[in-house]
Chain A
Amino acid sequence: MGEEKGDFEPKIVGFTCNWCTYAGADLAGTSRKKYPPNVRLIRMMCTARFDPMFALKALLNGADGVFISGCHPGECHYIKGNFYARRRIAAMRTILKQLGLDNRVKSYWISASEGDKFATTMKNITEEIKAVGPNPVRDEIL
């Protein structure tokens, strides 16, 4: 609260799939890659478990950003879960774009072997969310 744009530590809620991005985060850790600690990861078995309501709720409860990531399309552990997830995320982001809320949502595909990509992505999205500024709903009564 009372924090200025660019000069605050954003809270980002991350929804990641067990088989790819969560393992990717593990690899980043075991490879001792440094990345900002702003993302709080929530592990789900597949991005298809991601309900857009999770992102809406996180944002309305004051999260500065939402990060969603799973296996690359075509490499889903459950064969096609992330294809369905991609449609849902695309629909959600199309809605949020029109309402000017999409700049707080980030979606990526990061595999279990991409520890480097995970660390860089964390750095990038933390910077991006810092530039967007603190979520104004934190100071509002919603």
Chain B
Amino acid sequence: MKGTELNYGDLEGFLKGLLENKAVDCLIMPRRVGNSVSYMLVRDKDKITAPESAIFAPSFGVNAANIVKGWLIDEKVGIVAKPCETRAAIELIKLTQLKEDSVLLITVDCAGTYANEVYAANYADIGDQVDSAKIKELAGKGISIRDACTICENRLADIGDIAIAQANGEKAVVAGLTDKGVEALTAAGLSLEEKDLEREAEKEQIAAEAKANLEALPKIDSEAALEEFLRDCIVCKNCRDVCPVCYCKDCFFDQPLGNPAGGDLLNLAETRGAVAVPANQLLYHLTRVYHVCTTCVACGACEDACPKDIPLTRYYPVITKKVQEIFEYVPGKDVKEPLPFTTYEDDELEECLM
């Protein structure tokens, strides 16, 4: 693939160049505020300063794709984000919640992230970026990456239009993964050469570790276990609101049938004798896991957003992964691959119906 190696100091010029040369009309990218890192939407290139201190930061607050969900605009948005966020954006394109031609997806290598509040509190120890050795060292001090990151198999930038991969010694390889990406890089004024970013061995190792970590997560394997797991849920639906691939404009659980109140609730209590309130706790999570079962990118935003600290990574990504396996579908891998529920084969899946 076509790419070039940049010093960290040159990344600022590269991102500014994208805006300046109209490769994109605006950029959504991480910015540093003291110890914290959060996203900003930039139109003025001069607002970009020292991006290298923010774009590699192992901090996860929101999924960047959730910011652009439903933005059916014609202007071109560049999104500088981690692989799980790019995958979510690709799913949104397939769900027609985002225009393929209106985004430039710039994916940055990720070694695993800390919840943003953990990152800010331990910035002195964590720093601007980490690698797997540093993550192990910090885990020894009790500073752990998010569960969702420990089970993530796709941490290296290999999807989207442009990859920003970490190279040795304060250097990054910037490469175009699609024609659109190569065009943008050229427009930004980079001279490109042939670069190898396959990194197969590294990917295999990450995937093997992730699989082992997934196996080690506590299982929710019965209705009783599910009830126990969700006992403290207050049905605030934060997990839905922060989920990049949960996109219905009118959620069933905001409508009278899904969110019964007043007389409706009294009638339910009348037929059943008693009804738990807030209502539909189990139905909400069971329906939601079905709704995201093919598109969940396992970013773990739901767990971070849960005000009751329910470890939702043990539920959504774990349960949906098995569904994705029966369809041999990896969400966000390929923008051209149809969503499993929009296609079929004549002879398939009968073993799942036994």
Q: Within the complex, which residue of A62, A94, A141 is in contact with B352, where a contact is CB–CB below 8 Å? A: A94
A100 and B222 in contact, given A56-B283, A92-B290 (Cβ under 8 angstroms): yes
Min CB–CB distance B246 → chain A (angstroms): 14
In the complex, are the beta carbons of A57 and B293 less than 8 A apart?
Answer: no
Q: Name the interface residues of B193-233: CB closer than 8 Å to any CB of A.
A: 220-223, 225-227
Closest 5 CB pairs of A and B: A83-B344, A90-B352, A100-B222, A90-B349, A141-B274
Min CB–CB distance A121 → chain B (angstroms): 13
Cα-based distance from A23 to B239 in the complex (angstroms): 43
Q: How many residues on the B side are at the interface (Cβ–Cβ under 8 A)? A: 39
Q: Does B40 contact A (CB under 8 A)?
A: no
Cα-based distance from A99 to B322 in the complex (angstroms): 12
A91 and B323 in contact, given A99-B221, A99-B226, A100-B221 (Cβ under 8 angstroms): yes
Cα-based distance from A29 to B225 in the complex (angstroms): 42
Q: Name the interface residues of B75-119: CB closer than 8 Å to any CB of A.
A: none
Cα-based distance from A17 to B340 in the complex (angstroms): 23
A95 and B223 in contact, given A53-B290, A84-B341 (Cβ under 8 angstroms): no
A52-B290, A99-B220 provided; 8 other pairs, C-beta below 8 A? A53-B283, A62-B272, A83-B346, A90-B326, A94-B293, A98-B221, A141-B276, A142-B282
Min CB–CB distance B39 → chain A (angstroms): 32
In the complex, are the beta carbons of B323 and A101 less than 8 A apart?
Answer: no
In the complex, are the beta carbons of A95 and B287 less than 8 A apart?
Answer: no
Min CB–CB distance B278 → chain A (angstroms): 12
Q: Within the complex, which residue of A92, A101, A142 is in contact with B276, where a contact is CB–CB below 8 Å? A: A142
7 A-B pairs (CB sep. < 8 Å): A53-B283, A94-B322, A97-B322, A99-B226, A100-B222, A140-B227, A141-B276
Cα-based distance from A142 to B233 in the complex (angstroms): 13
Q: Name A's interface SS.
A: helix
* Chain A residues with CB under 8 A of B287: 52-53, 56
In the complex, are the beta carbons of A73 and B346 less than 8 A apart?
Answer: yes
In the complex, are the beta carbons of A98 and B319 less than 8 A apart?
Answer: yes
In the complex, the chain B residue whose C-beta lies closest to that of A100 is: B222
Q: Does A110 contact B (CB under 8 A)?
A: no
Mask for A116-142, Cβ within 8 A of B = 1, else 0?
000000000000000000001100111
Min CB–CB distance A60 → chain B (angstroms): 5
Cα-based distance from A97 to B287 in the complex (angstroms): 15
A100 and B323 in contact, given A87-B349, A89-B353, A141-B275 (Cβ under 8 angstroms): no
Q: Does A88 contact B (CB under 8 A)?
A: yes
In the complex, the chain B residue whose C-beta lies closest to that of A137 is: B223
A87 and B340 in contact, given A100-B223, A141-B274 (Cβ under 8 angstroms): yes
* Chain A residues with CB under 8 A of B344: 80, 83-84, 86-87
* Chain B residues with CB under 8 A of A83: 344-346
Q: Does B154 contact A (CB under 8 A)?
A: no
